[in-house]
């Protein structure tokens, strides 16, 4: 069994920006999330639950906090034994953007009411582009810590910048401590985090102002303190609209990180992945570190895609049992316009990759729209299904409108 595509959502109302997580103890249990506009066209946080490895999904729309009228940028994470947490950016209109979290301790059957992680205030503070991780490092003294990252936009109406923030909870999401990661003089989009086998926290972001750079800060004490920022690589951001006729959807350049928590030969290795335009087209680059982020390897392309093709929206997850590196991304390499989803996989610590198309059919990013659409979402996601499998989630227009599709593989590559 491999490369099975499953419809996670259906219907004419757009769903986009998917995240996905897997119960590591019971891998048939999966939770996906996305921006879901199926209730009156209003953007909400949709939660999709599968108990059979992705074949079938049920839908729940999470409630908004009082006074808020919409939600976007959701993400989901798994924690031992039966916990899933969902973050989102909620807002009334275009202001007061606030980061919230919902918690389930019954494998996604029910979720708590939303808890505020960090509040927004008018156009003074807007907390957007959320991401979330629970520490499941097998030897971590901080097991169960929850880390939420987001770009913290300040003074939005008068030219303020966007900083990388991290919020940590040590009590299951009830209370939070906030950490400023980046410089207030930089412009940041959607930070990310990873936790290694012993609980070291890698907080990552890319600056989009000139010069654009990929930075990581390490915490060795469960997110209490962070060391100085380390440069992973310079970055050439991908154009907001890719240079392909009749493309209009935006493509933002984000940081993506993961670590090898296995007992294999590359245990402890940290991986940084991003899209980059240094070759005159969008490609997926990777660097890795074997010394807890002190130094990083020279970035290399991992796609093997034809020169001039556009490869974008990467997301990475490393199998915690086998150390297999899994990177999902969109690509137009099949015909130059239509989109497909590929997964790059490595079993030798990122030295070489096997790239596989996992979409059953290519799709038009504009769907049934007679004119190019401005948004297909800003990211997609992948989660390992140990040992050796994966489940990816992306927004797909094969039905004519944006819906979430999952691609599953249980092949253990050797």
Quote the pLDDT of residue 120. 95
The domain that holds 184 is classified in CATH as 2.120.10.10
Residue 414 lies in a domain: no
**Measured distance CA(92)–CA(270) in Å, rounded:** 38
Quote the pLDDT of residue 1. 42
Could you report the per-residue pLDDT of 197-250, keeping only the tens digit for each?
999 999 999 999 999 999 999 999 999 999 999 999 999 999 999 999 999 999
Residues of the chain with pLDDT under 50: 1
Residue 86 lies in a domain: yes
Give me the domain span that covers residue 143.
Answer: 4-409
Residue 316 lies in a domain: yes
Strand boundaries in 224-380, DSSP class E: 230-234, 256-259, 270-276, 283-289, 300-301, 311-318, 325-331, 340-346, 354-357
Could you report the per-residue pLDDT of 17-45, keeping only the tens digit for each?
999 999 999 999 999 999 999 999 999 99
Residue 190 lies in a domain: yes
When divided into structural domains, the chain yields a total of 1
CB 337 within 8 A of CB 298: no
Residue 303 phi, psi dihedral angles, 5° rounding: -95, -30
């Amino acid at each position: 069994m491999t490369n099975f595509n499953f419809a996670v959502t259906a219907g004419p109302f757009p769903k986009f920006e998917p995240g996905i997580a897997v119960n590591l103890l019971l891998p048939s249990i999966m939770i996906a999330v996305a921006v879901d506009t199926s209730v009156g066209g209003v953007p909400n946080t949709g939660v999709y639950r599968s108990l059979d490895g992705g074949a079938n999904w049920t839908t729940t729309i999470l409630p908004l906090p009082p006074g808020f009228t919409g939600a976007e940028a959701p993400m989901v994470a798994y924690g031992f034994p039966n916990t899933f947490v969902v973050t989102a950016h909620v807002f009334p209109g275009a202001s007061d953007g606030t980061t919230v979290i919902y918690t389930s301790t019954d494998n996604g059957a029910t979720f708590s009411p939303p808890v505020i992680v960090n509040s927004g205030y008018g156009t003074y503070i807007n907390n957007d582009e959320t991401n979330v991780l629970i520490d499941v490092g097998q030897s971590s003294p901080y097991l169960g810590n929850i880390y939420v990252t987001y770009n913290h936009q300040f003074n939005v109406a008068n030219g303020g910048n966007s900083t990388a923030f991290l919020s940590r909870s040590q009590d299951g999401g009830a209370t939070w401590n906030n950490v400023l990661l980046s410089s207030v003089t930089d412009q940041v989009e959607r930070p990310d985090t990873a936790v290694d086998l012993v609980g070291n926290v890698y907080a990552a972001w890319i600056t989009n102002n000139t010069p654009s750079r990929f930075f990581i800060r390490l915490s060795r004490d469960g997110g209490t303190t962070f060391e100085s920022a380390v440069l992973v690589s310079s970055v050439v951001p991908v154009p907001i609209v890719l240079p392909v006729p009749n493309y209009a959807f935006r493509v933002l350049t984000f940081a993506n990180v993961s670590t090898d928590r296995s007992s294999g030969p590359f245990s402890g290795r940290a991986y940084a992945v991003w899209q980059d335009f240094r070759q005159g087209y969008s490609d997926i680059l990777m660097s890795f570190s074997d010394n807890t982020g002190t130094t990083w390897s020279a970035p290399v392309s991992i796609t093997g895609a034809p020169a001039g093709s556009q490869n974008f929206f990467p997301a990475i997850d490393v199998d915690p049992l086998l150390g297999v590196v899994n990177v999902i991304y969109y690509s137009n390499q099949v015909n130059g316009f239509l989109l497909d989803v590929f997964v790059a996989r490595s079993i030798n610590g990122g030295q070489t990759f096997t790239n596989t198309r996992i979409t059953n059919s290519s799709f038009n990013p504009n769907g049934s729209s007679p004119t190019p659409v401005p948004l297909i979402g800003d990211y997609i996601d992948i989660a390992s299904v140990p040992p050796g499998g994966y489940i990816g989630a992306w927004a797909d227009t094969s039905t004519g409108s944006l819906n979430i599709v999952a691609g599953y593989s249980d092949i253990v590559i050797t």
